[in-house]
Structure formats: C-alpha cells, structure tokens
Amino acid sequence: MQVVGHVWNGWTLMDVRSGGGTRRVSGWIALGMIATLVTGCTGESTAAGARDGASATTTAPAEPVALTSNVADRAADVAPGVPVTATAAGGTITEVALTSPEGTVVAGQIAADGLTWTNTEPLGYSKTYTLAVTGKNADGRAETTTSSFTTATPRTYTYLSINPLDGATAGVGQPLAFYFDEPIADRAAVESMISITTSPAVEGAFYWYDEDEVHWRPQNFWTPGTTITIDAKIYGKHVGNGIYGQEDRHVTATIGDSVIHEADGQTHQVVTKVNGEVTRTVPTSMGDAANPTPVGTYVITEKHDHMVMDSRTYGLSLEAGGYVTPVDWATRMSNSGIFVHSAPWSIGDQGHRNVSHGCLNMSPENAKFFFDNAKPGDVVIVTNSGGPALESWDGFGDWQVPWEEWKAGNR
C-alpha cells in the first residue's frame, strides 16, 4: 500500500493506492493511522524512560545554620573591653541585636563573608546584655539564637599616663613611658594591650621599673624623623587583682633632630652634635670629688627658666653640706637633681676644674643657649667624671640597661 498526501482547500487528502487502484481519504483518518504507527514504534522507549525517572534520587535538605558566640549564655564577669563575637557555620549571619539593659542596641558589624559579627562600640561595666543572632542556611531557612551575659564589676579602675604626650616632638633618646595609678598584677596582659607602631619600623621591648611603671624603647637611639603611634587599649580589660582599665589612650609623637651632648669630666667641655655634626663646644664644671657626676647616658626630661635647687629634695641635709640655691636656665638630666644650669659663680672653674654638687655648670650665656635648644629626649653622655654609673631608674636612665637584659622585661 502506498499513501500520497495532497492539500486541497485547507484539508489534507490522502490517496491510498493498493494494487492498481487509488482511493482518497480525509486527512484526519490518514493522520490517525500515521500517529498510531509512530506510537507503536516509540512505545518501548517511552516506557523505559518512565522506569528511569522512577529510580532518580531526591536531594536532601541543607542542615540548619549553627550560630555560636564567644560569650557563653548567662556568663558573668565578662570583660566589657573584650569584643563580643557571633559566628555562623553552615550558613551566614543576617541580623544581630546586642541590647543593653536600657534597651539600646550596641553598634556592630557583620563581616563581608557573613560568617562573623563583632561589636564596634564598647560595653559598660556591671550591665546585663541580651544577644540575639539570626542566620540562614543554604536553603534560606532562618534560625535565631538568644543568650545573655553580665559584664564585670571592677574592684577599682586604673588610669594610664604616657610620656611623651600626644603631638610631642622628642629627642632620639626618648623612651616611651607608661604610668599606671594602680599596681599591675598581670604585666604580660598589659603589654598585650599596648600597641606601638613606628615608621620606619623598629624592634623594641618593654621593661618594668616598678609595679605601676613600664617603659618601651628600641635597641639603639631613634632615627630622626621617626613617627610613633601608641594605642593603649586598656578600657574594660582586666589587669589583675580585680583592677580594670579606666579608658583607652592614644598618642602620636615624632622624633626630631638628633641632639647629643658629650660631656667630658677630664677636658671639662661639652661637645654638642646635631645629626652627627659638631655644632658647639662650651666649657663646664661637673661634680667635685665629694659629689662626682655619675657617668652614663642621660635623657633630658624637663626645663625651668628659674628654680630653687634644694639638696634636701634628694636626701642631702644642709648640715651635711647641702644647699638651697636659686638658678636660671635649668635643664633636668636626672631625677636625683642633676641639671645643666647657669652658674655665674663658677665661670672661673668652668673648663678647668669640677667644683659642683653634681650638676653641669655653665655660664649664663651658654646655659641659656643649651636651655633654648633643648627638647625632651635629647641625650647627654657623661664620661670621665670619676663618678659611679648612672642608675637606670634615675630619670630616664633606660640606656644604661644592656639590650639583652632589657628584652627580658624585668617582669
């Protein structure tokens, strides 16, 4: 049998030829016959596809997001200066509310990857906070966890003072000195709270002079032009024995020109070098045989255009040969009372003999020039005076401590 299709007036007509005859049938009858044939040819493949679909596996739903915090639920004595952190595993954080007892929401920041959140403003002491963390898993299903904790109540607070002051320009011998108004029990913890950044970078170390005083310095004198940034993050942090930091401190300072005065007790001269170049040489008179000026590296700390020098302030009575003397242009070298100052009464001895009680005597003109050009942190190196070694605790005698000993920290 042969089927031939014709289109006539919108209909499809089929000529069915069998043997020697031909007959025409309507299109839907012929197409029905063809559809039956096609269905018969493809029936086995369709059935197989159905069987394959029945055996396909279904994807399992994602695990819920796991939300945790570095502060345990109902924790007490939480240090308010330690950041609160929320963390997501198997998903991301979408919202966090850390709420104070007054109902104020503490500011915080979700990380760009959505895996952590940290508060960006400090917490208060002696307060109970509520932490609500919401996150979602890979399927978008949300979960929320809620917890609470109470911050510490200090036994007392400690305030930190820093030398140099913010904005200061200091000399190349300037140590960084930190003074607490309470004794520090956890010295290692305090060191970790104080960040010191310098440009150019330099290695430095802490050294404890007392239970409430620690200094930091590099191995050698600073390089002129160095910038120093100090960030002491002590607020809300425990420094031992129930004492917490009162407030953070921030200081920026700059190291100025290198000014080093070399005072020789045998030549009776003070040679001043600025950035390595000799700029001035003047006569002096140091401590006499009964009061020799200690040898070593001094650091200038302060100056007074006029002051009364009283030996009783460092333990020498008037009966034992002490003195009460007004002086001008006094630049302090040590806490034990050693100054560079004007001494018009000893001009004839200056450059020839040592006749003072330990100070470096100069003429009024030379003392004023020294005074006018001095800045905290400038260095005076005393040699050949016949005196004992300068004690490291006497003023800023920091450079008297060998570097390896300094690095050990004296904790």
Residues labelled as active-site residues: 341, 359
| DSSP string over 99-156 | E-TTSPBPPEEE-TTSSEEEESSPPPTT-EEEEEEEEEETT--EEEEEEEEEE---SE
Which amino acid belongs to residue 196?
A: I
Is residue 27 classed as helix, strand or coil in its secondary structure?
A: helix
d(CA 354, CA 234): 48
Closest CA to 206 of 170, 175, 172: 175
**CA–CA separation, 37 vs 189, rounded Å?**
89
> Is residue 149 a contact partner of residue 71, using CB atoms and an 8 Å limit?
yes
Single out the residue of 166, 380, 379 nearest to residue 254, CA to CA.
Answer: 166
Question: Rounded to 5 degrees, what are φ and ψ at 54?
Answer: -65, -25
Distance between CA 222 and CA 277 in Å, rounded?
17
Strand boundaries in 256-410, DSSP class E: 259-264, 269-274, 277-283, 296-299, 303-310, 324-332, 339-342, 360-362, 379-383
